[in-house]
């Protein structure tokens, strides 16, 4: 049974079980002046812009709804 459970893993999936922390350490310690929230690559910038878009739009919308809720509702 032990021989079956210790089957060889193919090279592609073996990379996923290896320690990739040293690579990450090199990437995030690179002297490129980038702040930590953008230092990981292009995806960081995209996520940042999406988050900013949602919160800025949302804040504006809250202020709009607040204005609407403060106005008297015209009855006919």
Partner 1 sequence: MAHQAHSYHMVDPSPWPIFGAAAALLTTSGLIMWFHYSSSMLLALGLLSMLLVMLQWWRDVIRESTFQGHHTPTVQKGLRYGMILFITSEAFFFLGFFWAFFHSSLVPTPELGGQWPPMGVKPLNPMEVPLLNTAILLASGVTVTWAHHSITEGNRKQAIHALTLTVLLGLYFTALQAMEYHEAPFSIADSVYGSTFFVATGFHGLHVIIGSSFLTVCLLRLIKFHFTSDHHFGFEAAAWYWHFVDVIWLFLYMTIYWWGS
CA distance 31 to 48: 21
Inter-residue contact 60 to 49 (CB < 8 Å): no
Q: Which two three-digit tokens encode residue 19?
A: 């320690």
Using alpha carbons only, give the angle 68, 72, 74 rounded to the nearest 5 degrees.
105
**Cα distance between residue 24 and residue 26, in whole Å:** 5
Total number of residues that touch partner 1 (CB under 8 A): 29
Q: Which of 35, 67, 71, 76 binds partner 1 (CB under 8 A)?
A: 35
Nearer to partner 1, 9 or 28 (CB): 28
Residues 11-30, one symbol each (x = binds partner 1 by CB under 8 A, - = not), give --------xxx--xx-xxx-
The reply to whether 58 sits near partner 1 by the rule CB under 8 A is yes
* Residues engaged in binding partner 1 (CB under 8 A): 19-21, 24-25, 27-29, 31, 35-37, 39-40, 47-48, 50-52, 54-59, 61-62, 65-66
């Amino acid at each position: 049974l032990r021989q079956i459970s210790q089957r060889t893993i193919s090279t592609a999936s073996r990379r996923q079980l290896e320690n990739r922390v040293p690579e990450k350490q090199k990437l995030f310690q690179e002297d490129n002046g980038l702040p930590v929230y953008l230092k990981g690559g292009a995806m960081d910038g995209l996520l940042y812009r999406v988050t900013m878009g949602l919160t800025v739009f949302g804040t504006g919308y809250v202020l709009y709804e607040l204005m609407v809720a403060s106005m008297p509702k015209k009855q006919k």
